[in-house]
Structure 1
């Protein structure tokens, strides 16, 4: 995998008991990921002459090698499988186009059916990959309604399914049967398919992300976070300093974009006729534009929002940056099945 990614010469390896530990050589870590900042890695690789078609894989591999919290793989195929899954997730997230709605939920009827007890399940005979692609990458001009959290589950599942189709078809068949019977969602999805990297006690650096990470940006304003769907924002890191935007995929977020948007949710807060908190997105957009026109204001907002978030249930001096990142578990054939 290291040779394939073109990075073998910049990697240090050593025996560690029954395992082998790999890391980026310090001089290259400082050159490409100074101060644990991965957001500019793509641009640095471009400047060093990396070909465009090699950038994503190289960015993933170098970030994995330099992670402040090491990744542990229990099978020889694990690292290469992890890189492929992350590529699939990024490629799918870049083109996912949905309609934001926390109350409604829609799927293409030719591939999905809904039941309150089982959620959205795949119709018999419809391949899971096709069903997920139709729901998240519609070609008929219609966009289906999702919350950002559920959308990330579909993109992760699509990335996993594409990897399993090529390298572990038996487990793909298990996933197919599962989604024909009952959807795995929310906390169960997290516990079944994902690992969390970093912790509250040992947070990852605020500017360190690996392409394919699922990332949570928390709304640090207590009042506007009561609006359903505005507690925070779930996205994927796409590489190149950009984060996914399912509602406008042609306009992926920078870290600054996402932080400004979440900060100004508080200025879009209103209450509907039933007294429920809501967010006026047009007002938010205007406030973002005003902040961009006032550099001092923008910089002050970003200084606050770039802080690590407060712990759950607390609204104090924290920003919107999470302490952890999430990624799919190992999919190699020798790993235990998760579904």
Structure 2
């Protein structure tokens, strides 16, 4: 970051530390080989440098290629421009992840090549899990498969003795595994999806840390703010926002409801989602119909027009009415453009409702996980 707090100009890409003795050319070749991206060599730059944290080598797409593939760092069309089929071809999903990271406006920093490889695999895992996740939306109830989970007062849902954490997470979120839909909030759902993606990689690269995670989840879950602090890192801020349409598959992000009245309805303060790549965001309630950015913005806008009070006087949102109004708005080109112009602004700080939209300024993704370099520190039980 510069003194202004804003990201440096130009793509910052991937920053590798711990490579002293390897020059930029050798590190570049190692990165491209590791990520199966040798064909990008003609448009990727490598540079050596030093800062307060020590030596590093930066690998990034050149600015001309970024402008061609994602003008203004808009990666929502990246898959289309690269003619990728990220839904059916795993290698294409990896390609979109790698390309988007190489053009990062803020550097993705890693202490080793192994951590970079793990980060790409985790993102791949998260997207795959998010696509399979289908839940029953409920703002005040929560359910889990009883053969895997048990609820403990003041603690939450813990896994039963002898049950694999991976199995428990998959069963809770994926009907193809469990044969059932379970009630979740969107925030808790994203935690389960992120945790599953991270845990799958830990089982692969760091079995000792995975075993600790398994033991911890049998005693107490990590949730909410602590989940963010333990498992995730965050790029961007209100003072130095990421470009509004810059997303990497596997990112978690928040769409805020900028309408104060409907934001008072439980569960409608906003919407937490996973970016799936290809311009699509997770839809945990209708997994076969992921959201485009416009879809998500339009849905959140219409919450204000479907607000009502139930018999107990609580604010609620009529989902059927929202769906009908979304469908009608999609047939009105000028009205739709007006709504999207309003909603596709950066959000305002929590508690402030003036002229902001629903786009967040930050993205969240997994911490480092490899033995010897992991910064994922589990709390004591």
> Which category describes the TM-score, using the shorter chain as reference length?
over 0.9
What secondary structure is seen at the aligned counterpart in 1 of 2:364? strand
CA drift of 1:141 comes to: 3.6
Name which of 162, 178, 185 aligns with 1:147: 185
Residue 246 of structure 1 pairs with residue 246 of structure 2: no
Count of residues in Structure 1 that have an aligned counterpart in Structure 2: 337
**TM-score, normalised to structure 1's length?**
0.97
Name which of 192, 198, 208 aligns with 1:160: 198
User: Matches of 1:37 and 1:284 in 2, distance apart?
Assistant: 28
CA drift of 1:34 comes to: 1.2
Residue 180 of structure 1 pairs with residue 218 of structure 2: yes
- Per-residue CA deviations over 1:87-132 (Å, capped at 9, x if unaligned) read 0000000010100112111000000001013210011111100000
Residue 230 of structure 1 pairs with residue 268 of structure 2: yes
User: Matches of 1:266 and 1:310 in 2, distance apart?
Assistant: 17
Residue 87 of structure 1 pairs with residue 124 of structure 2: yes
**TM-score, normalised to structure 2's length?**
0.86
Question: Is the CA contact (8 Å cut-off) linking 2:258 and 2:358 kept in structure 1?
Answer: yes
User: Matches of 2:289 and 2:175 in 1, distance apart?
Assistant: 18
Q: Which residue of 1 aligns with 2:62?
A: 25
Question: Is the CA contact (8 Å cut-off) linking 1:46 and 1:52 kept in structure 2?
Answer: no
Structure 1 unaligned runs (5+)? none
Question: Is the CA contact (8 Å cut-off) linking 1:75 and 1:332 kept in structure 2?
Answer: no
Relative contact order, CA 8 A, sep 6+: which one is greater? 1
Residue 338 of structure 1 pairs with residue 371 of structure 2: no
User: Matches of 1:228 and 1:235 in 2, distance apart?
Assistant: 17
The runs of 4+ residues in structure 1 deviating greater than 4 Å are none
Question: Is the CA contact (8 Å cut-off) linking 1:86 and 1:159 kept in structure 2?
Answer: yes
What secondary structure is seen at the aligned counterpart in 1 of 2:122? helix
Question: Is the CA contact (8 Å cut-off) linking 2:139 and 2:185 kept in structure 1?
Answer: yes
User: Matches of 1:38 and 1:291 in 2, distance apart?
Assistant: 26
CA drift of 1:52 comes to: 4.1
CA drift of 1:54 comes to: 2.3
Cα RMSD of the aligned pairs, angstroms, is: 1.4
- Per-residue CA deviations over 1:238-274 (Å, capped at 9, x if unaligned) read 0000000000000000000000000000011000111
User: Matches of 2:36 and 2:362 in 1, distance apart?
Assistant: 26
Question: Is the CA contact (8 Å cut-off) linking 2:367 and 2:375 kept in structure 1?
Answer: no
User: Matches of 1:186 and 1:26 in 2, distance apart?
Assistant: 37
Residue 203 of structure 1 pairs with residue 236 of structure 2: no
Q: Which residue of 1 aligns with 2:150?
A: 113
List aligned pairs for 1:6-155, cutoff 5 A: 6=37, 7-17=40-50, 18-46=55-83, 52-139=89-176, 140-155=178-193
What secondary structure is seen at the aligned counterpart in 2 of 1:23? strand
- Per-residue CA deviations over 1:215-245 (Å, capped at 9, x if unaligned) read 1000000000000000000000000000000
CA drift of 1:202 comes to: 0.6
